[in-house]
């Protein structure tokens, strides 16, 4: 700061010198320091210090001796004695020998600053008086002399303007205030005070003139200074009020470097909110590493940011968690000068806790959603248990998860796990009775049918049987909820954390919901298994019935025995080659067996006639698709069996029978069966002709591909015979 007063700090404690120097520089002073009395005397004369702060106990001489030598060489230099050893005698001695004031350590910084300010003001006044004392008539300020009886003996022109009624050789009475202190009997002394005359304020200095009974009065008009000081005080009070009443914390600090790297910082000033928000007290002048031990290891980012800001002057913001205080902080950092920084901060722990809880809740909801989605595709109970365990293991802080099922012999068998080795989980000895192996959360939850939490299993005596497992896997807390299927406890879901007290009421509620989802999934899987078993029985019964009906047709036409079975076989193969769903292929199998069921209505002698059929006889044979439809139309199949039976002799060009349907009205199943029927019939023997052969049959469908027969069906059939080596089963 330009023309700033110089303060000299003389103290043998380097930390105190550094801290006090930083505080004073922050207040705008030029500061020099010395670590001994001799060095202090030399510095005081070198820099013309305005105020010297002197430690009473110095290694080479006393602080009072230092003060005397400094004032002997520079009488106008003011001295403030600082000491940690209170003594009335030394206080009196220091004051009598010219000390401006005497303060005890630890001193209040604000009080020290006030003493320094007043000492500088007195020094400046003394300097002005000394400068003008030699030229009283030319002095722009009032100068007067009064004798012992209070009569005016001299008044300069400036004083005459202020006091026009005063006359030399006449008493001044009360015009100059009470003069008894300067004129009274006994030892006379210098008096400095303020005097208000009208709207003006003067600083009045009264001191005895050596070798006479006169007292000289110097008066300086300090009206503007008083007004400025009042404005400054008002500004400082506003700043101090803001500083002390702001809700956010503020810390002004000096960065400490080691090998040009930030390694520590010293608190130079903090506001009251600092203590409220951090719980830290009496930090001014102390290093943060002493205030919060271990903070350099837990929060290196603080030193990086503070050091960067103090060096560059570029403000930064950050949020960080300080484990030693268990507090989250939001910080804005700027630098008022190189090597220093100011941290404005707020305690955001509540907000962070809320954010963390929301994050955890969102993670839990996502986990539940994933589990619920998996319930729709789980193939068996073991896969479901495994998926749930893996999903829960993905939660923050979870070390492992185990699902155990109750066995009749009171053993809890691990059927699913995550986070643990196969050897550990499969060999884990847990029971659901009241034995020691049933004392953990798994056994208790399975036995009593309620949720159970163990907050500190490292020190929980119930976990003595599993002490080695707890230590090996770093388990700190555990929770378990029962798995209830159809009103009975069938097992338990247990979860383990690497932190103590990890499972609160919300976590238990979540685990209970997961356990409910598992129960729903297991119930659905078991229902599905039962349904599949029932469907299997029904399918077996239906197949037996279909095959029995086909056998009845074969009995009436022994020359075509096996035709229905072979058509069914080829139709299914074509369907698979075309990539049809398994369910639709199953329908082709049934349609293949039943496609000629209408021949029951055709006389047996016509079916087995070895010669060419008459027109009437052929018309009776051509009616068998309609007869088959009439037999099947009222039976409920999950496939269009009756419709396919009706259409299996239709052709795409409309030349087929019994309805002569165009291509777009012929269903896919009928298109497949018609090709399979043609190929099998041409390749097999008939009463009225020998087998034509499969090569001729394939040539037939290839020649009429797209005209009589569906292109895709023909292509699939040709591929089966020519590329896949299809052969009818015996």
Residue with more model confidence, 129 or 314: 314
Which pLDDT score, from 0 to 100, does residue 691 have?
66
Which pLDDT score, from 0 to 100, does residue 541 have?
57
The pTM of this model reads 0.44
Percent of the chain with pLDDT over 90: 38
| Range with the largest mean pLDDT of 15-29, 211-225, 287-301, 477-491 | 287-301
Q: Identify the helix (H) or strand (E) that includes residue 208.
A: strand 200-208
Residue 133: is its pLDDT beyond 60? no
Which pLDDT score, from 0 to 100, does residue 243 have?
77
| pLDDT tens digit sequence for 430-442 | 999 989 999 899 9
Which pLDDT score, from 0 to 100, does residue 131 have?
58
Alpha-carbon gap, residue 23 to 253, rounded angstroms: 10
Query: How confident is the model over 271-279, as a mean pLDDT?
Result: 92
Query: How confident is the model over 573-591, as a mean pLDDT?
Result: 93
| pLDDT tens digit sequence for 488-538 | 888 899 999 988 888 888 888 888 888 888 877 777 777 666 666 655 665
Calculate the CA dihedral of residues 82, 282, 294, 356 and round it to 10 degrees.
-160
Query: How confident is the model over 5-18, as a mean pLDDT?
Result: 90
Residue with more model confidence, 375 or 619: 619
Residue 185: is its pLDDT beyond 60? no
Phi, psi (deg, nearest 5) at residue 477: -145, 160
| pLDDT tens digit sequence for 222-268 | 888 888 878 877 877 777 777 788 889 999 999 999 888 999 999 99
Phi, psi (deg, nearest 5) at residue 601: -85, -5
Query: How confident is the model over 342-357, as a mean pLDDT?
Result: 89
Calculate the CA 117 to chain-centre distance.
50
The confidence band for 177, taking pLDDT boundaries of 50, 70 and 90, is: confident
Residue with more model confidence, 388 or 526: 388
Q: Please report which residue ranges of 558-683 form alpha helices under DSSP H.
A: 563-577, 582-594, 604-607, 615-622, 624-632, 641-647, 668-683
pLDDT averaged over every residue in the chain: 85
Which pLDDT score, from 0 to 100, does residue 1 have?
45
Which pLDDT score, from 0 to 100, does residue 715 have?
95
The confidence band for 187, taking pLDDT boundaries of 50, 70 and 90, is: low
Alpha-carbon gap, residue 707 to 234, rounded angstroms: 107
Which pLDDT score, from 0 to 100, does residue 358 have?
77
Residue 150: is its pLDDT beyond 50? yes
Which pLDDT score, from 0 to 100, does residue 730 have?
64
Residue with more model confidence, 100 or 131: 100
Which pLDDT score, from 0 to 100, does residue 186 have?
46
498, 475 contact by CB (below 8 A): yes
Alpha-carbon gap, residue 633 to 108, rounded angstroms: 107
Residue 689: is its pLDDT beyond 70? no
| pLDDT tens digit sequence for 40-90 | 999 988 888 889 999 988 989 999 999 999 988 888 899 999 887 666 777
Percent of the chain with pLDDT over 70: 90
Query: How confident is the model over 308-330, as a mean pLDDT?
Result: 94
Which pLDDT score, from 0 to 100, does residue 44 have?
87
Q: In terms of DSSP bridges, do strands 477-485 and 488-497 run parallel, antiparallel, or are they unpaired?
A: antiparallel
Cα dihedral across residues 184, 190, 193, 198: positive or negative: positive
């Amino acid at each position: 700061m330009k023309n700033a007063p110089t303060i000299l700090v003389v103290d043998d404690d380097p930390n105190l010198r550094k801290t006090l120097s930083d505080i004073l520089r922050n207040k705008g002073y030029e500061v020099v320091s010395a670590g001994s009395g001799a060095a202090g005397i030399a510095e005081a004369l070198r820099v013309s210090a305005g105020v010297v702060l002197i430690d009473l106990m110095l290694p080479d001489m006393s602080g009072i001796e230092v003060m005397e030598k400094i004032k002997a060489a520079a009488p106008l230099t003011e001295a403030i004695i600082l000491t940690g050893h209170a003594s009335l005698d030394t206080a009196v001695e220091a004051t009598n020998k010219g000390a401006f004031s005497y303060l005890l350590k630890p001193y209040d910084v604000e009080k020290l600053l006030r003493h320094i300010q007043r000492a500088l003001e007195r020094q400046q006044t003394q300097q002005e008086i000394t400068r003008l004392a030699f030229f009283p008539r030319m002095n722009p300020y009032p100068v007067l002399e009064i004798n012992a009886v209070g009569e005016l003996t001299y008044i300069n022109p400036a004083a005459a303007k202020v006091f026009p009624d005063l006359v030399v050789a006449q008493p001044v009475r009360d015009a100059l205030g009470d003069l008894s202190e300067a004129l009274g009997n006994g030892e006379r002394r210098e008096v400095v005070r303020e005097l208000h005359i009208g709207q003006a304020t003067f600083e009045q200095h009264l001191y005895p003139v050596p070798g006479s009974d006169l007292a000289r009065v110097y008066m300086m008009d300090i009206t503007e200074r008083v007004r400025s000081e009042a404005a400054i005080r008002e500004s400082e009070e506003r700043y101090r009020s803001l500083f002390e009443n702001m809700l956010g914390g503020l810390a002004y600090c000096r960065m400490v470097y080691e090998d040009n790297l930030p390694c520590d910082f010293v608190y130079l000033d903090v506001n009251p909110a600092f203590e409220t928000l951090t719980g830290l007290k009496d930090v001014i002048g102390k290093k943060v590493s002493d205030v919060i031990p271990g903070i350099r290891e837990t929060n290196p980012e603080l030193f990086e940011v503070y050091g960067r800001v103090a060096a560059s002057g570029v403000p930064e913001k950050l949020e960080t968690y300080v484990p030693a205080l268990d507090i989250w902080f939001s910080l804005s950092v700027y630098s008022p000068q190189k090597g220093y920084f100011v941290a404005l901060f707020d305690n955001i722990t509540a907000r962070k806790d809320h954010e963390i809880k929301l994050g955890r809740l969102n993670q839990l909801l996502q986990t539940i959603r994933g589990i619920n989605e998996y319930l729709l595709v789980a193939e068996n109970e073991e896969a479901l248990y495994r998926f749930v365990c893996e999903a829960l293991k993905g939660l923050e802080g979870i070390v492992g998860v185990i699902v155990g099922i109750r066995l009749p012999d009171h053993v809890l068998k691990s059927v699913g796990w995550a986070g643990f080795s196969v050897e550990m989980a499969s060999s884990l000895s847990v029971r659901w009775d009241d034995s020691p192996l049933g004392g953990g959360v798994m056994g208790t939850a399975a036995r009593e049918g309620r949720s159970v939490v163990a907050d500190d299993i490292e020190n929980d005596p119930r976990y003595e049987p599993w002490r080695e497992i707890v230590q090996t896997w770093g388990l700190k807390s555990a929770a378990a909820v029962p798995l209830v299927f159809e009103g009975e406890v069938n097992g338990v879901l247990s979860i383990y954390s690497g932190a103590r007290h990890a499972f609160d009421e919300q976590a238990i509620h979540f685990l209970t919901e997961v356990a409910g989802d598992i129960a729903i999934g297991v119930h659905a899987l078991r229902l599905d298994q039962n349904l599949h078993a029932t469907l299997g029985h029904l399918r077996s019964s239906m197949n037996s019935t279909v095959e029995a009906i086909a056998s009845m047709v074969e009995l009436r036409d022994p020359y075509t025995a096996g035709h229905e079975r072979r058509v069914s076989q080829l139709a299914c193969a074509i369907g698979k080659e075309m990539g049809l769903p398994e369910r639709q292929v199953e329908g082709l199998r049934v349609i293949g067996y039943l496609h000629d069921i209408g021949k029951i209505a055709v006389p047996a002698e016509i079916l087995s006639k070895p010669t060419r059929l008459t027109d009437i006889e052929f018309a009776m044979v051509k009616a068998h698709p309609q007869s088959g439809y009439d037999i099947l139309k009222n039976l409920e199949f999950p496939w269009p069996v009756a419709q396919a039976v009706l259409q299996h002799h239709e052709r795409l060009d409309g030349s087929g029978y019994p309805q002569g349907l165009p291509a777009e009205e012929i269903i896919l199943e009928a298109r497949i069966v018609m090709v399979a029927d043609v190929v099998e019939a041409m390749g097999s023997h008939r009463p009225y002709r020998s087998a034509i052969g499969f090569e001729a049959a394939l040539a037939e469908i290839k020649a009429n591909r797209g005209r009589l027969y569906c292109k895709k069906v023909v292509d699939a059939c040709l591929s089966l015979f020519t590329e896949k080596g299809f052969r009818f089963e015996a």
